Amino acid sequence: MSELSKPKEDLQDPSKAQGPVEVPLLAEVGVAASHLASYILASSSTNVEALPQEILDGMMANLLKFLLFKYRAKKMSSQAEMLNEVLRDNQEHFPVVFSEVSECLRLVFGVEINEVDPKEHIYTLVPTLGLTCDEILSDGEGLPKAGFLALVLNVIMLCGDPAPEEAVWGALSRMRVYVGREHCVFGELRELLTRVWVQEGYLEYQQMPDSHPARYVFLWGPRAYVETSKW
């Protein structure tokens, strides 16, 4: 688990690794991220019955790690590159794996895969949702968080804006993202939601008037309203 706290080392270029990329589960890029992806993709219509789940998870983890490296390095990728450097002996499963990983990138990390050359099948990865929080990561470090921010904003909206903090923590814990527990992608949840995103203007964290003992609520911040919408 100690290795999960090193996203920079973890996201080295898989093509430069010696031998096959050893990533048995999506946990290699964050345990909670994998659980969150599984939760969101549970209703996926993609047919994966022909693949044992453990093998599918391994291939997804390899490709997800590879594409996150490309995103952070601001590089394009091709289908040939993904087949030859990542899936290798499992190339026949590329359509299923690529579809699942694309959904995970979009819903969990807020990154869209766009095909820029249909003939050569070359892809670029771009942030989606209109949220720019990933652009202020210091020195380009860390992993994209716009997808998770969009999820938090959605939770606040569904719980009622303002939303009681215990309702927000409860909703996120059901997706296996826990307050008080360090996460290699999102960091410590309370720190991220009550300080980092408050300072950046995406969230507001306020004490409820006349509450004894003190109770707190989350609201959408002004920057969230500027960059996206509840619709």
Give the bridge partners for 217, in sequence order: 164, 206
- Asked if 82 contacts 123 with a C-beta cutoff of 8 angstroms, the reply is no
Query: Residue 205: pLDDT above 90?
Result: yes
Per residue in 67-118, pLDDT tens?
A: 888 887 878 899 999 988 888 877 888 888 898 888 888 777 778 888 888 8
Q: Which residues contact 180 (CB under 8 A, 6 or more apart)?
A: 188, 189, 190
Amino acid at 107: L
Per residue in 12-63, pLDDT tens?
A: 555 454 333 333 333 444 444 455 555 555 444 444 446 677 777 888 888 8
Measured distance CA(148)–CA(174) in Å, rounded: 14
For residue 135, name the pLDDT band (cuts at 50, 70, 90): low
For residue 4, name the pLDDT band (cuts at 50, 70, 90): very low
Given its phi and psi angles, is residue 134 left (phi above 0), alpha (psi -120 to 50 degrees) or beta? alpha
Measured distance CA(152)–CA(149) in Å, rounded: 5
